Structure 1
Amino acid sequence: MSDVTFAFFHPRVLRTERLSPTLIRVVFGGDDLAAVVSGGRDQRFKLFLPRPGQDAPVLPDVLDSDWYPRWRELDPEVRGIMRTYTVRNVRRDPAEVDVDFALHGDLGPASRWAQQARPGDRVAILAPVVTDNGGVDFCPPDDTEWVLIAADETALPAVAGILDWLPADTPARVWIEVAHPDDRLPLPARANTEITWLVRPAPTADRTTALLSAVTAAGLPSGTPYAWLAGEAAAIRALRRHLVNDRGYPRPAVSFAGYWRQGTTEDELLTAAIEAAEESA
């Protein structure tokens, strides 16, 4: 049996759909996408975008398990732009993958690409080919009695995937911070799911305190919790500290991810992550 869990694919854009003022869905297609398998929930994958003037992203000549150091060795001004995204939907007939892009205020390269994407545009993805692939962070233990979710719009696709997957009898308290009232998209809502939307008063409003303030002020259920937090890095760290230090949540019961950092570009975050990984190697 193969131990390969992720593989490279080279799809094209089939169509785009504006979901809300802040979110754009891009549908990718290609016969080889029939091999893509999602673990659901917050399933992540790597997306490689072409740079301006390129027809397709530049990748290493050999795409095996050592692709990453080869990608790093390429000229940073030429190599494909790499970002991490959530698989929103996978379909088999026809083979399609949906990816929802949140448009950042600074319009980084991925945001700009998504707004300009047209049918036929070429990308590359490193996507899972088995369900149990290590790319899913939302993994509540068997003894979980209720779930807490806190996120901003960058994690809205992952929240939707989690709520799609969550057993109907599992209570969930959900807080989602968005930029515009119309970003409050329909989500799977069961009798045991309570969703609170937090709409920022202006695009330039602070993005580090709303979730923390809302969860801090909330009365939370009793019972064994599991928390999933994703969004702006400083906000998520503060929220995790609150749950662990003030609410007494066990650290393993809090899954958290900083999807972006206020005042820092995507490329700066990627460079910092690469340098940290190399220093710890």
Structure 2
Amino acid sequence: MKASGIIHNPGRGTFRRLQVLRAWRVTPHMRRVVLTGPELAGFSFYRQGLGPYVKLLVPPLNLKDPGWPRIGESGAIECPVDQRPSVRTYTVRDFDEELQELTIDFVLHGDEGPASRWAAKAEPGDSIALLERGFSHPYGVDRYVFIGDHTALPAIAQSLENLPDDSRGEAVICLGDDEDKQHLRAPPGLSVTWLIGEKTIELPSLMRDLKLASAEPGEYLFLWVGAEARLARFLRSHAKDGLSLPKDQYSILNYWRRGFAEGSFERSG
């Protein structure tokens, strides 16, 4: 019998100052930003993790070369109030160790949040910083089920691209606009379904999709969901009580919260 379970790595929190190398729109509402800099040396990227993430320190608007925080004698982070960055969690879409290039995809929400505003205007030479964080890596999985909306698309895309070639499963992605679909590389045994016209995951369609997450006897199934906060809270309860999945068989993350501007509610799970 093969071993199965999940590894959680919270990351080391290493502070790195980076610069924009290039940026472009992948789709009408998604902008890709490639970052680089000498401080990427030694960056730890576990490609097989599901949705590996970092904490971005987004500088205030129009501050091209911010005075980044430093650690004071007391161990506290010190920073001038007018230069204080906004801290947001983002998926590492890709990392090229040879070229020292780190790629992050940003969903564009207009001017609703600091990260979206910054990404929409980012140009080569702009500064940003990150705190190195972690990943989750389930192993011995027989079947994967991914469910997410536009905000979860970078994490789902990164995960599908790096699963073992013999992986099986399904991915269901909700988008408000057909033009925001992307070509995703996935193992032959993993299907991708796009629900167009659904900007967010709604409960009726979600309960339909969750039927995919009913494990067969003896099957090690892993459920990954990126969703609105209240829905994610419901799903964690449903995964445990409705689907009878143990904790090592699901990762359900809060990606945003209804009524909050982008980024003003920090994701968790």
TM-score, normalised on structure 1? 0.79
Shift in alpha-carbon separation, 1:151–1:206, aligned structure 2, 3 A:
closer
Unaligned runs of 5+ in 1: 129-134, 274-281
Whether 1:227 and 2:232 are equivalent positions in the alignment is: no
Q: Report the equivalent of 1:85.
A: 90
Corresponding residue of 2:65: 56
Gaps of 5+ in 2: 1-10
Does 2:132 match 1:119? no
Q: Please list the CA deviations of residues 41-77 of structure 1 after superposition, one character each: whole Å capped at 9, or x if unmatched.
A: 31111111211242334433238994xx425x863x5
Identity among equivalent pairs (%): 31
Could you say what secondary structure the match of 2:174 adopts? strand
- Kindly report which structure 2 residues correspond to 1:259-278, keeping only aligned pairs within 5 A, or say none: 259-266=255-262, 268-270=264-266
CA distance in 1, matches of 2:73, 2:65: 19
Could you tell me which residue of structure 2 aligns to residue 140 of structure 1? 138
The answer (yes or no) to whether the contact 1:149–1:229 under 8 Å persists in 2 is yes
SS at match of 1:237: helix
Quick one: distance in 2 between partners of 1:24 and 1:250? 36
CA distance in 2, matches of 1:227, 1:184: 22
Per-residue deviation, 1:140: 1.7
Taking the aligned partners of 1:141 and 1:160, their CA distance within structure 2 comes to: 18
Conservation of the 8 A alpha-carbon contact between 1:145 and 1:224: yes
Alignment partner of 1:36 out of 43, 48, 55:
43
Distance 1:248 1:12 in 2: 45
> How many angstroms apart in 2 are the aligned matches of 1:214 and 1:250?
21
Label 1:64 to 1:103 Cα distance change in 2 as closer, same or farther (>3 A): farther
Equivalent residue of 1:55, what SS? coil
Structure 2 Cα separation of the partners of residues 28 and 221 of structure 1: 40
Q: Hey, what's the Cα distance between the residues in 2 that align with 1:266 and 1:220?
A: 32
> Of 184, 193, 197, which residue of structure 1 is paired with 2:190?
193
Distance 1:5 1:63 in 2: 19
Instruction: In structure 2, give the amino acid aligned to 1:234.
Output: R
SS at match of 1:10: strand
CA distance in 1, matches of 2:72, 2:154: 28
2:187 is the alignment partner of 1:182: no
Q: Report the structure, 1 or 2, having the larger strand content.
A: 2
Please give the alpha-carbon distance, in whole angstroms, between the structure 2 residues aligned to 1:64 and 1:226.
44
What secondary structure is seen at the aligned counterpart in 1 of 2:240?
Answer: helix
- Deviation of 1:232 after TM superposition, in Å, equals 1.6
Q: Distance in 1 between matches of 2:223 and 2:249?
A: 6
Change in 2 beyond 3 A, CA 1:148/1:184: same
Count of residues paired in the alignment: 254
Q: Does 1:47 align with 2:56?
A: yes
Secondary structure of the residue that 2:148 maps to in structure 1? Answer: strand
212-221 or 156-165, larger mean C-alpha shift: 212-221
Secondary structure at 1:35 match in 2: coil
Q: Do the aligned residues in 2 keep the contact of 1:108 with 1:265 (CA within 8 Å)?
A: yes
Alignment partners' CA distance in 1, 2:15 and 2:261: 26
User: How many Å apart are 1:175 and its aligned residue?
Assistant: 0.9
Structure 1 counterpart of 2:14? 7
Cα distance in structure 2, aligned partners of 1:57 and 1:6: 20
Q: CA offsets per residue over residues 76-120 of structure 1, 9 Å max, x none?
A: x54111111111111134321111001236631111111111111
What is the alpha-carbon distance in structure 2 between the residues aligned to residue 229 and residue 146 of structure 1? 14
Aligned to 1:240: 236
Sort the Cα spacing of 1:239 and 1:247 in 2 relative to 1 into closer, same or farther, 3 A.
Answer: same
Q: CA RMSD in A?
A: 2.8
Partner residue, 2:209:
215
CA distance in 1, matches of 2:166, 2:72: 43
Higher helix proportion (structure 1 or 2): 1
Distance 1:65 1:226 in 2: 43
